[in-house]
Amino acid sequence: MLKKHFRHICIAVSAITSIAFSGTAFAQADYPNKPIKLVVAFPAGGTSDVLARMMADEMGKILKQPVVVDNIGGAGGTIGMDRALKMPADGYTLIQTGVGQNAVAHGLDPNLKYNSLTDFIHLTQVNYGPNLLVVNPSSPFKTVKDVVEYAKANPGKLDYGFTHAASGHMAMELFKQTTGIFMTGIPYRGGGPMMTDILGGTIPMIFINQDNALPHIRAGKLRALAVSSAQRNPLYPDVPTIAEAGYKGFEALSWSGLSVAKGTPQPIADKLEAAAVQALKSEAIKQRLTSVGFVIPELGSKPYTAFVKKELDTWTRVIKTAGIKPQ
């Protein structure tokens, strides 16, 4: 009697498990059946937001469901990351990851609430772009060599502008550490006032994202000395890399990608990865990215996951060496 009762229980449990599994499988096969949220950890209107909306539009067409951008800014992108990871890991929350919130942030705060290597499934990198080392056209500096020689001969007498923990700030710290020079940093609360001052000749140099530098360089209001990528940028073919100046291996990039929270069912993550890769291969997106100097990198989850780890390690080391603290 006991055996018979036990057998009935086993059959019932098996049936429930089978139904649950079938329901999950159906939900995954039916995915997506409602709009998908794309969390952007910065305010609307900036470069991160523009890139996210571009991807949202194209992926929405591929997935046949709207992809809706949700801007959750604050604390250098860390608030958005933390909130996004607390949302259900069901594939209906995409997360825009990037250099600030998923690499630099770990160097600034070792006790960050999330781990960019273990709390995410990274789907694909979307873009990267160099920073440009730029000077006012009235500056006597024409090359990286000119800057380094002057700074070594006059320690601390050469100034530069920066906004705290931005990619240009990180590029400058890496530049100083790589070249062994000491310069004096002038902090700014935002890129706007800093740009005003370099255009006016108040500060001699900055590192700045290539898309923000482009109109001023074309207008002859800034002079580019070098790009911070490993290769020359197609939009600035005549501007050498810092590596070409003798600092082999130098690279400091601004980048973003798409990820989901760990725990998202793998078939759903795979579908999102495929949609993102397909979107990035479209002529419309390729044209929009390359027109402002962004480069489309190797696509897919595996290369992006490795890239995030490399960047996290690099900027954690640079920040520790420089003694930079969070604000």
Q: For the segment 237-259, what is each residue's pLDDT rounded down to a tens digit?
A: 999 999 999 999 999 999 999 99
Domain 36-128+255-322 adopts which CATH fold? D-Maltodextrin-Binding Protein; domain 2 (3.40.190)
CA 253/CA 170 separation, integer angstroms: 9
| Positions of CATH 3.40.190.150 in the chain | 36-128+255-322
307: tokens are 């890239």
pLDDT at 16: 47
Per the DSSP assignment, residues forming a β-bridge with 255 are 128
Q: Where are the alpha helices (DSSP H) in the chain?
A: 2-29, 47-63, 78-85, 99, 105-108, 144-153, 167-179, 191-199, 210-218, 266-280, 283-290, 301-322
Q: Are 93 and 84 in contact (CB under 8 A)?
A: yes
Backbone phi and psi for residue 255, each to the nearest 5 degrees, phi listed first: -150, 160
**CA-based max dimension of the chain:** 97
Over its C-alpha atoms, the chain yields an Rg (Å, rounded) of 23
| Positions of CATH 3.40.190.10 in the chain | 130-245
**Whole-prediction pTM:** 0.90
Whether CATH 3.40.50.300 fits 130-245: no
Exposure of 73 by Cβ count < 10 A (0-12 exposed, 13-18 middle, 19+ buried)? middle
Task: Report strand pairing: 159-163 vs 93-98.
Answer: unpaired
Please check the confidence at residue 299 and state whether its pLDDT lies above 50. yes
Q: Are 318 and 173 in contact (CB under 8 A)?
A: yes
| pLDDT (mean) for 124-143 | 97
Please check the confidence at residue 83 and state whether its pLDDT lies above 90. yes
Between 3 and 209, residue with greater pLDDT: 209
Give the tens place of pLDDT for each residue, 54-68.
Answer: 999 999 999 999 999
Please check the confidence at residue 89 and state whether its pLDDT lies above 60. yes
CA 31/CA 21 separation, integer angstroms: 15
pLDDT at 5: 52
Q: Give helix then strand counts, H and E, for the chain.
A: 12, 9
CA 25/CA 31 separation, integer angstroms: 10
| pLDDT (mean) for 143-168 | 97
Task: Report strand pairing: 184-188 vs 159-163.
Answer: parallel
| pLDDT (mean) for 140-148 | 98
Mean pLDDT, the chain, integer: 93
220: tokens are 């002859």
